[in-house]
Amino acid sequence: MTDQPQHLPDVPAADDLTAPWWDATREHRLTVQRCDGCAAVQHPPRAVCLACGTLGGLSQVDVSGAGEVDSFTVVHRGPRPDLATPYTIARVRLAEGPILLTRIHPHQEVAIDDPVEVAWWDLPDGRALPVFRPLNRTNTTP
Amino acid sequence: MSATTSTATGAAIVGVAESDLGVTNLSILTLQTQAITRALADAGLTLADVDGIATTGVSRFSATQVADHLGLEPRWTDSTFAGGSAYEMMVARATQAIESGQASTVVISFASNQRSAASRRLGGVTEDHTPEAQLETPYDPLFPLSYYAMAAQQYLHRFGGTHEQLAEIAVAAREWALLNPAAYRYRAGSLTAADVTSSRLVSSPLTVADCCLVTDGGGAVVLTSLERARDLAKPAVRVLGYGERTTNTSMTAVRDLTSTGAVGSGADAFARAGVTPSDVDVLEVYDSFTITAALSIEALGFCGRGEVLDFIAGGRIRPGGSLPLDTAGGGLSYCHPGQYGVLLLVEAVRQVRGEAGARQVPDAEIAVAHGTGGILSTHATVVLGADR
Ligand SMILES: [Zn+2]
């Protein structure tokens, strides 16, 4: 829980594919889907392993919560009127491989390849939304 | 440059038209009807000749809706929903339908009244049952802009370019629009790179001047067999080749934001046509944002990897340059009704016919129209050539 924003987004209910991922967020555990057969990891969760094609033995496993900024954009004009701007949208490459879309929170300038770690926004229904905060800012944005 | 005839398809575009553009206060179906009937008239055909309809953006059942509205019972329809690239994909589908004999005269059309109806939304439209609605929309990226902005950020970081260099796409588009009386920015005067970079930031590094217009508008193109095309009102413009790629709906599926599906769609289209990028006289690429066009030019093979910002400099893509780009003024300065792809085809055909007035590229014989849909999601390339 990190300085929650005033207006949290409405997040649609989980479904069969995403329920295990969302359930883990209730305990602030960030997970990716792992294949028992070939050990590949993927995100978002799917009914099939994209690496080996199996439909069985797919489960959510914890990740470290560490990653790097793959790219980012600072949004200056929000899509909802209640949203405070500016804010930073980022693609974060998890150390384990998969890429997440997320927010840099609290809002601050980042650079591509900056190291980041997971933080959480608690949603009213008990789920939590993973956001990322910078570690050791390199401050080398070109 | 002359078109090779051995590999080209057996279909041709015989009629093209725009609907009213800009701020029309007209319904989608009225704009569709304008575009379709004008394109048929351009070909010397009438609604009674149409037995194939390809369209989208009308309703959930777009081709059905247009067929009903025009009193037609087509043999063949296509409502491929792939954003701005759908119309280039439809050229491929229509060509195959004509070659196989399923349809003889196909109209591809699109129209939108998004400006008049104020229906454009910065956050886009999401469907609650998709993974993106749960995993991406809650973070409030602008859709599609923020994805393109992240691609631009990554491109400039990796290849060392500047936003000023990227702005050349918008600067050149404006120069073309100043030559096109139908362009929304026809009387707006020139644009400088500094104008673009100093405009209001929307999703960094992109400013409002890196973004396409929001206008009403539409267009239609009519295809038939090459044999029949040669008997019609206007010179036939041959469909030489086509290719497409579909890569992602989510903002996280593609690992490298700087390399798009246009690499594959372009390679397929050029191979089928038997031409290379150096044979192309006019290039019409979707410019939803400056970065969209830049990534497409590079992916299609007009320059090497990481080179597009240097490549477009020095007037190359402006009027009089060696690679005339988006010669109607593009989505950036001519018209952007939400899915601009059909208008790329309209302009490409006019250039090959030599009908483009003050903006005509001398002796244009081979033109490429390349559509991009969604968040660099769908990519479709069509190579067109004069019937010589
Ligand atoms: Zn597997």
Which listed residue (B148, B155, B242, B334) is catalytic? Answer: B334
Which listed residue (B147, B184, B286, B340) is catalytic? Answer: B286
Q: Is B356 helix (H, G, I), strand (E, B) or coil?
A: coil
Residues of B whose CB is below 8 A from A9: 137-140
The answer to whether the beta carbons of residues B57 and B111 sit under 8 Å apart is yes
Note the pLDDT of residue A140. Answer: 47
Q: Is B88 helix (H, G, I), strand (E, B) or coil?
A: helix
Instruction: Kindly give, in sequence order, each residue whose CB lies less than 8 Å from that of residue A61, ignoring residues fewer than 6 positions away.
Output: A31, A32, A33, A34, A41
Single-letter amino acid, residue B10: G
Q: What is the mean pLDDT of chain B?
A: 96
Q: Locate tokens 């490549």: which residue?
A: B311
The CA distance from B267 to B287, in Å, is: 20
Residue A11 tokens, joined: 């997040």
Note the pLDDT of residue B26. Answer: 97
Residue B357 sits at the chain A interface (C-beta within 8 Å): no
Shortest CA distance to B182 belongs to which of B382, B12, B346? B346
Q: Is B76 helix (H, G, I), strand (E, B) or coil?
A: strand
pLDDT tens-place string over residues B266-297:
999 999 999 999 999 999 999 999 999 999 99
The answer to whether the beta carbons of residues B190 and B175 sit under 8 Å apart is yes
- Cα A40 to middle of ligand 1, angstroms: 5
Residue of A nearest to B252 (CA): A99
Shortest distance between the Cα of B180 and any Cα of chain A, in A, equals: 31
Write down the ipTM of this complex. Answer: 0.95
pLDDT tens-place string over residues B323-373:
999 999 999 999 999 999 999 999 999 999 999 999 999 999 999 999 999
pLDDT band at B122 (very low <50, low <70, confident <90, very high): confident
Residues of chain A with pLDDT under 70: 1-2, 137-142
Q: What is the mean pLDDT of chain A?
A: 93
Residue B215 tokens, joined: 């206008």
| Cβ density class B225-248: b for 16+ within 10 Å, e for less | bbebbeebebbbbbbbbbbbbbbb
The answer to whether the beta carbons of residues B206 and B291 sit under 8 Å apart is yes
Residue B155 sits at the chain A interface (C-beta within 8 Å): no
Percent share of chain B, pLDDT over 70: 98
pLDDT at B127 over 80: yes
**Once rounded to an integer, what is the mean pLDDT over residues B141-157?**
98
pLDDT band at B2 (very low <50, low <70, confident <90, very high): very low
The DSSP call for residue B325 is B
Per the annotation, the verdict on B334 as an active-site residue is: yes
Provide the sign of the torsion angle of the four alpha carbons B148, B286, B198, B144, taken in this order.
negative
**Once rounded to an integer, what is the mean pLDDT over residues B129-135?**
96
Residues of A whose CB is below 8 A from B137: 9
Note the pLDDT of residue B388. Answer: 85
Cα angle: B51, vertex B57, B61; to 5 degrees: 60
pLDDT at B168 over 70: yes
pLDDT at B125 over 90: no
- If residue A14 lies in a helix (H) or strand (E), which one and from where to where? none
pLDDT tens-place string over residues B88-115:
999 999 999 999 999 999 999 999 999 9
How many residue pairs from chains A and B have C-beta atoms closer than 8 A? 110
Domain ranges across chain B: 11-118+212-386
CATH code reported for the domain at B11-118+212-386: 3.40.47.10
CB contact under 8 A, B252 and A101: yes
Note the pLDDT of residue B243. Answer: 98
CB contact under 8 A, B200 and A18: no
Note the pLDDT of residue B19. Answer: 97
pLDDT at B307 over 70: yes
pLDDT tens-place string over residues B22-60:
999 999 999 999 999 999 999 999 999 999 999 999 999
CB contact under 8 A, B136 and A80: no
pLDDT at B149 over 70: yes
**Once rounded to an integer, what is the mean pLDDT over residues B218-225?**
98
Per the annotation, the verdict on B148 as an active-site residue is: no
- Crossing angle (nearest 10°) for helices B168-177 and B290-299: 100
Which strand ranges, in their side-by-side order, compose the sheet holding B282-285? B76-78, B52-55, B105-112, B217-225, B11-18, B237-246, B378-386, B366-373, B282-285
The CA distance from A36 to A34, in Å, is: 6
Note the pLDDT of residue A5. Answer: 85
Omega of the bond leading into A86 within 30 degrees of 0 (cis)? yes
pTM summary value: 0.96
